[in-house]
Structure 1
Amino acid sequence: MDIQLDQAPCGYFSISDSGIVRSVNQTLLDMLKLERSELLGRHIESTMSVTNKLFFHTYFYPYIQLYGHVDEMYFSFRTSDQQDVPVLLNGVRQTRDGESVVDCVVVVMRKRIEHEKDILQTKTKLQELYQATQEANKELERLHEEYEVKQQALLKVNDQLEAMASTDPLTGLKNRRFFQNSLLASLILLEQQQRHFSLLVIDIDHFKSINDTYGHPIGDLVLGNLAGLLQSMSRSSDVVARYGGEEFVIILAECDHDQAMEVAERYRFEVASSDWGQYNITVSIGVATAVQGDTDTSVFQRADQALYASKTAGRNRVTHADHL
């Protein structure tokens, strides 16, 4: 250290990021009544009281790390004979020889009494702040735990509501609203990614006679049993829904014309050959394979027209819209 800095009319010291003193001028040593060997290599906090250590930790370190400098910080060091030395502290953080260091300059304060009052007030405020922070943290933790519990409960309720909103209560299948949203999503995938799909519209043949002969409770039982059969035969990628009354719809993902006809025929055959007890249940099916430019209305109308053709041709059969 050159003599000008060593004998400067203000104290100077340089510390590492961890607070170890790297260099110090004679002015500061005289101020603290220390020998150079007593301070070099030691932590700068060894020259501070407990109160000022807390102050140093609370203000100096965070500020210097965040902004890279500290300007006009009122502070106190402690001499070797335990006397407080109030100072005005300035510091700047920089890199020297590949190492991050903090260079500081201190000037002895003249208004010692006022400074000591400031220190006392600061200490009191810090203690109050610490206590308030501890209490606030505990309350925050409690509120956070309470929030997590309520959030999980809310998510569960939302899931239940979503399931209720998209489920047909009689059959347990997806409802018409869910089907329509899925149909729109499938059309978007067709347009953007050329992912083809087909639509089946399925209607129970002579269902009105079942209701008229056996009553609506039996009709509801038939609807539920048929829904279970359709769901059990479908893939996880398919959407099986009750459209309304005795009519069901199925969106067959990644199915072209021929594949859709095979699947639809399998549904028809399985329904016709299943044991329904004293009831004879068959279904008529209309099929439409979506093409570029289709809308949800157009593809459904084509499948519905194909269903009508199956009905008028004698029921218990499958018709593709392309054959009309």
Structure 2
Amino acid sequence: MKERLKYAPCGYISITHEGMVTDVNHTFLDMMGYTREDLVHKHIETIMSTANKLIFHSYFYPYINLYGHVEELYLRLKDSKGESIPYIFNGRRFVLEGVEIIDCVLVQMGKRIDYELELRSAKKQIEDAYWEKDQTLVKLKQIHMEIEQKQQELIEINTILVERSNTDKLTGLKNRRFFQEKLEEQIIRYRKMEEPFSIYIIDIDYFKNVNDTWGHQTGDYVLENLAEILTSHTHEKDIVARYGGEEFVMILPNMEEAESKIKAENLRHAIANTSWEMINITVSIGIATFNPKDSDITIMAKADQALYASKENGRNRVTHIIDINEKLL
């Protein structure tokens, strides 16, 4: 590593495709309180919480594999004391002497913390002002105004961070993390109100051929336009998200088996009959409808099994898990 890079004003880590740390600069080690021996030859996920591992898997790896780079990924990493430190994470993949390496730049997110400190400081000033004889009413009003401004700024920053953490950058759809949260909420609603719902897993047929033949720009075009089609076929309470790569997922409240198959077939037909310029795009769809014995894991496994059946039976088709079960009886 070059001397300037070792002491650059930001953290720097090199990892393998599997996530093993191969190099790290002094700046990051100093910020986090680690030594080189603590991190080098260790997996980068060893300094992540479970939630951040999920973000890393659902966003970082798919983007690196698909585009070769990742920009502005918000993550929290554990320092040597176990404290959670916020970072903006950028990565780029390249091949050195036949070996794939991913270089990562980490910029610490201190702004949000600074706003919190400023807010606390402003509140402390108010408390002091009440006890100090030489403070005037004008000074108190000014401090109140500053507090309101800092509170609003903090709310806006939190809103932006939450939206970024829940949104797929390419398509503008919600991401896997948001989908998982909404699925858990839907299951709770089912337990309380017995409100039925169905799950779709939608996979673009032969998407790898699109990227290999027409390039990733065309692949992005397909993903963006498919997201628009899916959104146009949803109701207000429906959830549509990008699950990763060329897979999309949907939660359809108040929808049982028969209706879910009709809606999925209409959706499949709309996609197949859309003008895709130079290429023809179709999708395979797997469906599962929640029942009392299901969990978030089992219903996704059922939908995935149904998707696999759609692919095995020729693709460009819809399969509900009950179709498979009925054939086995």
Under a length normalisation based on structure 1, what TM-score does the superposition of the two structures give? 0.58
Q: Does 1:227 align with 2:202?
A: no
Alpha-carbon distance between aligned partners in 2 of 1:260 and 1:133, rounded to the nearest angstrom: 71
Structure 1: 5+ residue stretches without partners: 1-128
Runs of 4+, deviation exceeding 4 Å: 129-134
1:176 shift after superposition:
0.4
Which residue identity does 1:194 align to in structure 2?
A: E
Which residue matches 1:207?
207
Which residue matches 2:293?
293
Q: How does 1:9-88 map to 2 (within 5 A)?
A: none
1:293 shift after superposition:
2.5
Alpha-carbon distance between aligned partners in 1 of 2:319 and 2:132, rounded to the nearest angstrom: 76
Q: How does 1:78-157 map to 2 (within 5 A)?
A: 135-157=135-157
1:134 shift after superposition:
8.0
Q: CA offsets, 1:198-227, max 9 Å, x none? A: 000000001111011011121111111111
Alpha-carbon distance between aligned partners in 1 of 2:232 and 2:130, rounded to the nearest angstrom: 63
Alpha-carbon distance between aligned partners in 2 of 1:254 and 1:131, rounded to the nearest angstrom: 59
Alpha-carbon distance between aligned partners in 2 of 1:284 and 1:176, rounded to the nearest angstrom: 19
In structure 2, do the counterparts of structure 1 residues 179 and 137 end up closer, same or farther at CA, with 3 Å as the change threshold? same
Alpha-carbon distance between aligned partners in 1 of 2:142 and 2:295, rounded to the nearest angstrom: 52
Q: CA offsets, 1:47-82, max 9 Å, x none? A: xxxxxxxxxxxxxxxxxxxxxxxxxxxxxxxxxxxx
Structure 2: 5+ residue stretches without partners: 1-128, 325-329
Which residue identity does 1:322 align to in structure 2?
A: I
Which residue matches 1:275?
275
SS of match in other structure, 1:201:
strand
In structure 2, do the counterparts of structure 1 residues 130 and 181 end up closer, same or farther at CA, with 3 Å as the change threshold? closer
In structure 2, do the counterparts of structure 1 residues 232 and 138 end up closer, same or farther at CA, with 3 Å as the change threshold? same
SS of match in other structure, 1:227:
helix
Under a length normalisation based on structure 2, what TM-score does the superposition of the two structures give? 0.57
Q: Does 1:173 align with 2:173?
A: yes
Alpha-carbon distance between aligned partners in 1 of 2:257 and 2:192, rounded to the nearest angstrom: 20
Q: CA offsets, 1:95-138, max 9 Å, x none? A: xxxxxxxxxxxxxxxxxxxxxxxxxxxxxxxxxx9996683543
In structure 2, do the counterparts of structure 1 residues 132 and 270 end up closer, same or farther at CA, with 3 Å as the change threshold? same
Alpha-carbon distance between aligned partners in 1 of 2:245 and 2:314, rounded to the nearest angstrom: 21
In structure 2, do the counterparts of structure 1 residues 204 and 146 end up closer, same or farther at CA, with 3 Å as the change threshold? same
In structure 2, do the counterparts of structure 1 residues 202 and 130 end up closer, same or farther at CA, with 3 Å as the change threshold? closer
Task: Note the aligned Cα RMSD (angstroms).
Answer: 1.8
Which residue matches 1:261?
261
* Greater radius of gyration (CA): 1
Alpha-carbon distance between aligned partners in 2 of 1:162 and 1:131, rounded to the nearest angstrom: 39
In structure 2, do the counterparts of structure 1 residues 194 and 133 end up closer, same or farther at CA, with 3 Å as the change threshold? farther
Which residue identity does 2:180 align to in structure 1?
A: Q
Identity of aligned residues (%): 47
Alpha-carbon distance between aligned partners in 1 of 2:148 and 2:226, rounded to the nearest angstrom: 42
1:140 shift after superposition:
2.4
SS of match in other structure, 1:198:
strand
Which residue identity does 1:183 align to in structure 2?
A: L
In structure 2, do the counterparts of structure 1 residues 290 and 145 end up closer, same or farther at CA, with 3 Å as the change threshold? same
In structure 2, do the counterparts of structure 1 residues 296 and 131 end up closer, same or farther at CA, with 3 Å as the change threshold? closer
Paired positions, count: 196
Which residue matches 2:52?
none
Which residue matches 2:13?
none
Which residue matches 2:112?
none
Alpha-carbon distance between aligned partners in 2 of 1:292 and 1:239, rounded to the nearest angstrom: 21
Which residue matches 1:323?
323
Alpha-carbon distance between aligned partners in 2 of 1:206 and 1:196, rounded to the nearest angstrom: 32
SS of match in other structure, 1:135:
coil
